Every structure is written in structure tokens, then in C-alpha cells.
Amino acid sequence: MSDPRRWDERYSTTDLIWKSEPNQFLPPEVDGLTPGRALDLACGEGRNAVWLASRGWTVTGIDFSQVGLTKAAGLAEANDVTIEWIVEDVTAGEPTGEFDLVIVFYLQVPEPERRAAFSRAARELAPGGTLLIVGHDLLNLTEGVGGPPDAAVLYGPDDVRRDLSEAGVDDLVIERAERVNRSVDTDNGPAVAIDCLARAHRPATA
């Protein structure tokens, strides 16, 4: 099981570990969606949640690291946005099914916890809602740069398709699950990381 104390320690630096800008895949994926209620599961330092809030979304961010959420709250204040922050294990909690957008970016947990988190993410969707998942692809371990060196917390498109198909949401439509390249800057110059990106939705009710 993942240990929040490890992430509290990692987030205890003064500076942000991640950038303050959103992940590069988020803006194009939400372009065209009408802002509503958004949930960022495993939100970390909050950069994606803050960006969504600045675009008119009503955002809830959940993470099991209190230290990470404290930094997220500071980032939200600096950007003059209001976000509901909840300290909670994303594999726990009772889904409400009230969110128009649910995102899970770079969740780093073993398979049983990952499947539980993705199941929760799918069940948090309201009718008409969209689910976005982005993570370090297993192929990145041998052919990409950065990311965790532990294969146990990596996954690929087939894994996500299986996880979502078994999430218990009968009307969930998996639009795509694919490998995507992400440009990164390293000490040796530009390089490429390999991510897994998945998008799904629940049809709107009549």
C-alpha cells in the first residue's frame, strides 16, 4: 500500500516539485467542454486543479498528502481561485456521481490500488461527464525518460481499458486509450517521455 508519509516528505520542499502550469495534455483535452464540477483525484500540489478553476470549473482536489494539499492551497491563493481540498486516499471514499469532469494524472500506485482508484474515478462521473487519465506508461521504463523506475506502478493502454471496463459503470464509453509522447527538458537537452492517455465518458441522459 502507498504511504502518505513518503509523499509528505517529498512535498516538504519549499519549491513546487512539479511546475505550476498544468500538464500539457490537460488544456487540449478539456477544450470544448462546458465548465461544471471537476474532480482531481491524486491532485498533488494542485497545478491541474488550479488551472481548471481559473477556467471556470468548480473544482475539488483529493490527495492523501496533507503537505501536498497545503502547497496546493497556496498555489490556488496565488492564482486567486477557490478550490475544495480533501485529505483522503483516492482508493477510498464513496463516489457521488456528481462530477462533469474527473481527472487522474500520474497516479503512482501498485495495480490493486490503481484499479480501485480508476473504478472510483469512473463512478464519480455524472451523466454526460468526461474522465481523463494520464500516467507514466510501462514502455517509458525502457524507452523514455523520467518517471518512476518501478514497473509495479506503471501501466499501459490495455491495463486502463481493462480497469475501466471492470469499474462497475455500465454506460461508461471508453473513447480511447493510447501511448503518447511528452516532450521534456533534461540536462542533456530535449527528450521524450512515454505516457498513457485515456479518455472516457458517460452519455448524457435524455
In the predicted model, is pLDDT for residue 94 greater than 60? yes
Domain with residue 95: its CATH number is: 3.40.50.150
Number of domains in the chain: 1
pLDDT digits (tens, 9 = 90+) for 7-66: 556 656 666 666 768 999 999 999 999 999 999 999 999 999 999 999 999 999 999 899
- As given in the structure block, the three cell numbers for residue 193 are 517521455
The cell for 102 is: 474527473
Residue 206 confidence (pLDDT) above 70: no
The pLDDT tens digits for 115-168 are: 999 999 999 999 999 999 999 999 999 999 989 999 999 999 999 999 999 999
> Residue 14's pLDDT is what?
63
The gap from C-alpha 119 to its chain's centroid, in whole angstroms, comes to 13
> Is residue 179 a part of any domain in this protein?
yes
Q: Give the global pTM.
A: 0.93
pLDDT in tens, 168-205: 999 999 999 999 999 988 888 899 999 999 999 999 98
Q: Which residues contact 27 (CB under 8 A, 6 or more apart)?
A: 51
Cα–Cα separations (whole angstroms), residue 65 to 11, 50, 87, 123, 134: 8, 17, 7, 23, 20
List the domain range (segments joined by +) for residue 54: 36-201
Residue 5 has pLDDT above 70, yes or no: no
Q: Answer yes or no: is 24 within a domain.
A: no
Q: Name residues whose C-beta falls within 8 Å of residue 116's C-beta, 6 or more positions apart in sequence.
A: 91
Please report whether residue 26 resides in a domain: no
Q: Is residue 189 part of a domain?
A: yes
Q: Residues near 68 by Cβ (< 8 Å), separated by ≥ 6?
A: 7, 8, 11, 43, 44, 45, 46
- φ, ψ of residue 120 in degrees (nearest 5): -60, -45
Cα separation of 57 and 37, whole Å?
6
CA nearest 123: which of 96, 88, 103, 104?
Answer: 96
**Residue 96 CA neighbour count, 13 Å, CB half:** 9
